[in-house]
Amino acid sequence: MPYIGGLFPNERVVLSSFINAFPVGALILDTNRRVVLLNRALEGLLGLSSEEAEGLPCYAVLRARACLRCCPSLALDTASESVSVESDIINRERQLVPVRITTSAVKGFEGNLVGFLEVIEDLRAMQGLHKEGPTAFSFGGIVGKSPEMEKIFRILPVLAESDSSILITGETGTGKDVIAEAIHQASNRAKGPFIKVNCGALPETLLESELFGHTKGAFTGAVDDKPGRFRMANNGTLYLTEIGDLPLPLQVKLLTFLDDKTVYPIGSTRGYSVDVRVIAATHRNLEEMVAKGTFRKDLFYRLNVVRLHLPALRERGEDILLLLDHFVRLFSHKLNKTIEGFSPQALRELKKYPYPGNVRELRNIVEYAVNVCDARLIFPRHLPPYLLESEQEQAALMARTPVDTSAGMQSNPLANFASTDNWSDIERKIILDALAKAKGRRNEAARLLGWARSTLWRKMKQYEIN
């Protein structure tokens, strides 16, 4: 007979098939509250496979707030049928997901405790993506009232009802991830998993296994079967971000899946039919990539069934003020602060800044300001220092930068550049010169420039200096 905490191999298969039929997340624990098995729905919610979780303590897998306060399984007594608590968990994407955890004791024929069954229900569809409540001019946590955003808000509910593939384009930081999850949460797949895969984050060999799975012994190191993200996303949504970085061989496999909805794991001749909606996103120009032969034309047309282009923040007009107010309220609530808004001087600086990092950068700026603010209003002194550095101020600062002349740099680094060069070009060349003199040592380059190390890192990222 199968029992929790000592499953025989053939019994494990039966039990796996049983809990995989659950429409919500579920896991089985032994009497020491260590994971024996996760079902597919919970694998998708956590971004963690059952093999990776096996043997780990429950709290290390769920990472729920309830684990710190009062473990539901500890609250069970001999008379209890089950215990249910509302909490939240942290998934592999480091998202905080509101859930309801229902824990039941599993008993043997003689009434002895042999383990626990926990059912994890995702509450995001009911509570929304953000706990601060509904906001005017918003959809699923996306805020805006510019004409460009109003068009997107009008079409999103319609797209949520469809199962067609969607391609989301736009600059980095415009909110492609938020849009994708909002579509999922507004769809009839909301109770299913939302699986995100960054196509540019893994090498081709690992990415193929991550997406399509593999069988035991398919390659060196494949010590067990792995279902892959497509199967983990069954009855839900698979979000492929940075689709422009997907290698050409995997583009063929993705196209095959979009045509027949069947996944073939590495090393297997057996296909698995899955019901998955695919949403893809990229900041790249796929039309140019198709023309250059780095992205398949047929896959582009297959993904481009519905296309959403997110405008850059600089194109959204008064949305900047709306977003500033939204994020001030959000972070004031999270940090338990009473901040009423921005001073006129701070608003003036924020309105003239171009936001190359778009909404993500604006959010980070406000989070920083709320963290350091010691008043009821956010003043310029609370903003990140780089926002207040005008080109003239930066040029003056660079002109008086202390430089180690023994390292071969001139005392005035601006002397090398023509007056027709713009400031961005000048600053980039200065950084490259300092890095060359410092032989690539960033700490030394920062010292030569008279900057803090964090300032050098930020500017290297800004100018894409690797």
Confidence at residue 320, expressed as pLDDT on a 0 to 100 scale: 92
> Does the pLDDT of residue 180 top 50, yes or no?
yes
* Separation of alpha carbons 116 and 105, rounded Å: 5
Q: Where are the domains of the chain?
A: 9-122, 138-311, 316-387, 398-462
Confidence at residue 290, expressed as pLDDT on a 0 to 100 scale: 95
* Separation of alpha carbons 122 and 43, rounded Å: 13
CA distances from 125 to 118, 165, 277 (A): 20, 21, 17
Task: Please state which CATH class domain 9-122 belongs to.
Answer: alpha beta
Confidence at residue 310, expressed as pLDDT on a 0 to 100 scale: 94
Confidence at residue 14, expressed as pLDDT on a 0 to 100 scale: 57
Strand pairing category for 262-263 and 272-273 = antiparallel
* Beta bridge mates, 102: 84, 119
**If 0-12 CB within 10 Å is exposed, 13-18 middle and 19+ buried, where does residue 83 land?**
buried
**If 0-12 CB within 10 Å is exposed, 13-18 middle and 19+ buried, where does residue 311 land?**
buried
Confidence at residue 121, expressed as pLDDT on a 0 to 100 scale: 83
DSSP SS3 for 445: helix
Confidence at residue 66, expressed as pLDDT on a 0 to 100 scale: 79
Report the Cα 85 to chain-centroid distance in Å.
Answer: 26
Q: Hey, which bits of 298-337 come out as E strands? A: 306-309
Choice between 9 and 332, residue whose per-residue pLDDT is larger: 332
Instruction: Give the architecture-level CATH label for domain 138-311.
Output: 3-Layer(aba) Sandwich (3.40)
Q: Which range among 87-96, 182-191, 332-341 shows the weakest confidence by mean pLDDT?
A: 87-96
> Does the pLDDT of residue 446 top 90, yes or no?
no
* Separation of alpha carbons 51 and 425, rounded Å: 51
Residue 280 in tokens: 């893809």
> Does the pLDDT of residue 137 top 90, yes or no?
no
Strand pairing category for 236-241 and 276-282 = parallel
Choice between 268 and 81, residue whose per-residue pLDDT is larger: 268
Query: φ and ψ at 83, to 5 degrees?
Result: -130, 135
267-282: pLDDT as tens digits:
888 888 889 999 999 9
Q: What single-letter amino acid sits at 230? A: F
Tell me, yes or no, if the two domains 138-311 and 316-387 fold the same way: no
Predicted model pTM: 0.65
- Average pLDDT on 279-286 reads 94
* Separation of alpha carbons 399 and 321, rounded Å: 35
14-35: pLDDT as tens digits:
576 677 777 788 888 888 888 8
Q: Which range among 71-85, 136-150, 338-352 shows the weakest confidence by mean pLDDT?
A: 71-85
- Average pLDDT on 199-219 reads 85
* Sign of the CA dihedral with 141 first, then 144, 149, and 151 last: positive
Confidence at residue 216, expressed as pLDDT on a 0 to 100 scale: 84
Strand pairing category for 82-90 and 96-107 = antiparallel
pLDDT band at 77 (very low <50, low <70, confident <90, very high): low
Nearby residues of 172 by Cβ (< 8 Å), 6 or more positions away: 283, 357, 358, 360
Q: Does domain 398-462 have CATH number 3.20.19.10?
A: no
Strand pairing category for 113-122 and 96-107 = antiparallel
Percentage of the residues of the chain whose pLDDT score is greater than 90:
27
382-421: pLDDT as tens digits:
998 888 765 444 444 444 444 443 334 444 444 444 444 4
Nearby residues of 121 by Cβ (< 8 Å), 6 or more positions away: 24, 25, 99, 100, 101, 102
Choice between 242 and 130, residue whose per-residue pLDDT is larger: 242
- Average pLDDT on 164-193 reads 91
Residue 22 in tokens: 């659950």
> Does the pLDDT of residue 366 top 80, yes or no?
yes
- Please provide the CATH number assigned to the domain covering 316-387: 1.10.8.60
CA distance from start to end of the chain = 59
pLDDT band at 139 (very low <50, low <70, confident <90, very high): low
* Sign of the CA dihedral with 61 first, then 62, 63, and 67 last: negative
> Does the pLDDT of residue 306 top 50, yes or no?
yes
* Separation of alpha carbons 74 and 87, rounded Å: 16
CB 131 within 8 A of CB 110: no
